[in-house]
Amino acid sequence: MKGYISVILVILLNLIFPPDIEAVELIVHPDTPISQVDRNVARGIFSMRMREWADGTPITVYVLTDRNPIHQKFVQSILAMIPHQLRRSWDRYLYSGIGSPPIQVKNLEEMLLKISATPGAIGYTNEDMNGAEVRKIEVN
Amino acid sequence: MVLRCVKLKLTEWVLLTVIGILSPMLAGADTEQSIRWHGFLSQGLIATDDNNFLGDSESISSELTEVGIGASWNATSRIHFSAQALYLKAGDSAPDGVELDFGLVDINLINDATHGLGVRAGRLKNPYGFYNETRDVMATRASILLPESIYPDTLREIYHSSDSIGLHGYKEIGSTLFQFDVISGKPLIGDDTLDDMALFAPGTQSKNNELWVGRLMAEYDGGRLRGGISRVNLTGDLKPGPVNPLFPLFDGELELDMTLFSLEYNQLRWQLTAEYQIFDARIKDYYLPGFSSENTGESWYLQARYEFMPRWYLLARYDVYYGNKDDKDGKDRVASGNPPSYAAFAKDTTFSLRYELNEHWVLSTELHHVSGIGWLRSQDNADYANLEKNWNMLLFQVGYHF
């Protein structure tokens, strides 16, 4: 009985005070020819305006779903944008036919898998990832 | 007539079924170069205490259906193809059946972090104001009905798209992103379109139409503050319908100019939006050879939206329409034998509640209190001269998109 109560308490507490998301960071496919980006470039990439890297490789953008706390944190802290404004410009691309929104993945696992397998890919994570599969890049 | 109804229902069902079966299979795309599918559907209900809007709403109208399915393909990172089929029922305003909403190729010539330039051609969505390009997708609207004074549902067809070529680009200066779109081509004007415009006698056609639409938008700090100006110019040759010996009409010319100013302030949970439009119609030789007439209308709205709980939104809006800015109270209208006075305006106070169940489903209900009948149409209201001045409207809509 006590066990149940504490489980319920933990769930309730989590609902009321959601656990803080660790710092979110930009990650790219390891062959991507950059080590850092300016914030306005990151905005350009995730707003789907910028479609290729300096060497001509197409940029493939992966994101989590809009309401995912990691996505929310990424948009607000790394891009310094409002999530519904990003969604607005993606919807305009999609439903007026003038471009494509990012590709949505279900979870971080899929994000890492896709980015490590796609040259030119970019996304984000809150896990400590920096190695052969994906590379972390700094945002200025 | 019965057959026509059945046929419409059938098209609707076929589209619904296709979307239902395909959406789980098609929604996922693996890479930038895959063909990607998208779609949306919504159904609305409209009830009014007096006056009809979009069908027989005094006894509850369901003539508000939006269904679309489309595909897009990035042939390279510079060349993009896309198309969308649309079935629309919005009272009598849209043509029956499924139409090509857009079908285009977009080529990016310059594509840098701070500036870009591209061309597109085909059937393009008209870039007008904040809402026009995606107006049929419920998820992209803040409310069930867009402000009727600027995005009239009764004239949806002509606003939608045009067979055009266009130039578009962006330039970032400091924290401000400037984006422009210019298109030029043929508007989609059907046989009934002018009948809906209330300026012309029934059966009037407009031929050799040419359309220009341009828009310049500025976004400060990733969209916290957005402002823009849109401009439309439409010209055509007017051909009157069947000859009426008591009220003869002549071949003439039509020129429409519309200018729209847009401003929006965004925060994480709330949003303030305002747009102001001035509409100018010049008609030459149509009423009498050598005679010109000009009519200038004006409209604006103020809108506030607040996400009071995650996924729950409240919206309040005040929307004003004047068919002729020199006759806002309709006195001249009555004096020239064209009552009622309150057909000269419409002042719509709207409250809307919206719930986004998840990233695909949206539910919404809204209440309108309207003074005036400026954007009501005689097609929905046989007894137009005897409509009520003050009327109320309750709407409900459910939408799905992927």
Q: Per-residue pLDDT tens for B217-236?
A: 999 999 999 999 999 999 99
Q: Return the pLDDT at B7.
A: 45
Q: Per the CB < 8 Å rule, is B139 touching A118? A: no
Smallest Cβ–Cβ distance between A97 and the set B78, B104, B268 belongs to: B104
* pLDDT exceeds 60 at position B11: no
> Chain A residues with CB inside 8 Å of B108's CB?
51
* pLDDT exceeds 70 at position B307: yes
Q: Per the CB < 8 Å rule, is A51 touching B266? A: no
Q: Per the CB < 8 Å rule, is A98 touching B310? A: no
Higher-scoring residue by pLDDT: B247, A96? A96
> In a mutagenesis test of the A interface, which of B66, B78, B82 is the best target, namely the one with the most A β-carbons within 10 Å?
B82
> In a mutagenesis test of the A interface, which of B77, B162, B215, B269 is the best target, namely the one with the most A β-carbons within 10 Å?
B77
Is 0.90 topped by the overall pTM?
no
The mean pLDDT value for A102-124 works out to 94
The mean pLDDT value for A73-83 works out to 95
Chain B residue whose CA is closest to A87: B140
Q: Per-residue pLDDT tens for B150-176?
A: 998 877 777 889 999 999 999 999 999
CA B156, CA B120: separation in Å to the nearest integer?
A: 23
The whole domain housing A98 covers: 22-139
- Using the Cβ of B84 and the Cβ atoms of chain A, whether some distance falls under 8 Å is answered with yes
> In a mutagenesis test of the B interface, which of A65, A94, A105 is the best target, namely the one with the most B β-carbons within 10 Å?
A94
Q: Per the CB < 8 Å rule, is A40 touching B113? A: yes
| Position B204, amino acid | T
The mean pLDDT value for A97-115 works out to 94
Q: Has residue A36 been placed in a domain? A: yes
Q: Per the CB < 8 Å rule, is A60 touching B84? A: no
CA A48, CA A60: separation in Å to the nearest integer?
A: 9
Q: Return the pLDDT at B198.
A: 67
Nearest alpha-carbon partner for A111 in A45, A69, A52, A64? A64
CA B160, CA B185: separation in Å to the nearest integer?
A: 13
- Token digits of residue B258: 């519309």
Q: Per the CB < 8 Å rule, is A97 touching B222? A: no
Q: Has residue A63 been placed in a domain? A: yes
- Using the Cβ of B6 and the Cβ atoms of chain A, whether some distance falls under 8 Å is answered with no
| CATH (domain of A99) | 3.40.190.10
> Chain A residues with CB inside 8 Å of B120's CB?
98
Interface of A with B in 98-137 (CB under 8 A): 98-100, 103, 114, 118
CA B220, CA B179: separation in Å to the nearest integer?
A: 11
Pick from B58-72, B84-98, B223-237, B276-290: least confident: B84-98
* pLDDT exceeds 50 at position B8: no
ipTM (interface predicted TM): 0.88
What mean pLDDT is reported for chain B? 89
- Using the Cβ of B106 and the Cβ atoms of chain A, whether some distance falls under 8 Å is answered with yes
* pLDDT exceeds 70 at position B118: yes
Q: Per-residue pLDDT tens for A85-100?
A: 999 999 999 999 999 9
Q: Return the pLDDT at B94.
A: 62
φ/ψ (deg, to 5) at B360: -115, -35
- Using the Cβ of B36 and the Cβ atoms of chain A, whether some distance falls under 8 Å is answered with yes
Q: Has residue A52 been placed in a domain? A: yes
Q: Has residue B312 been placed in a domain? A: yes
Helix (H) or strand (E) holding B354: strand B345-356
Chain A residue whose CA is closest to B68: A95
CA B309, CA B239: separation in Å to the nearest integer?
A: 54
* pLDDT exceeds 60 at position B14: no
The whole domain housing B205 covers: 101-401
Furthest-apart CA atoms within chain B: distance in Å: 66
Task: Name the β-bridge partners of B38.
Answer: B70
Interface of B with A in 283-342 (CB under 8 A): 310-311
Q: Has residue B124 been placed in a domain? A: yes
Q: Has residue A1 been placed in a domain? A: no
Q: Has residue B77 been placed in a domain? A: no
How many domains, in total, are found in chain B?
A: 1
Q: Return the pLDDT at B384.
A: 85
Strands A60-63 and A121-125 turn out to be parallel
How many domains, in total, are found in chain A?
A: 1
- Using the Cβ of A63 and the Cβ atoms of chain B, whether some distance falls under 8 Å is answered with no
Q: Per-residue pLDDT tens for A25-64?
A: 999 999 998 889 999 999 999 999 999 998 889 999 999 9
Minimal CA separation from A1 to chain B, in Å: 32
- Token digits of residue B6: 């059945």
Q: Return the pLDDT at B91.
A: 83
| CATH (domain of B208) | 2.40.160
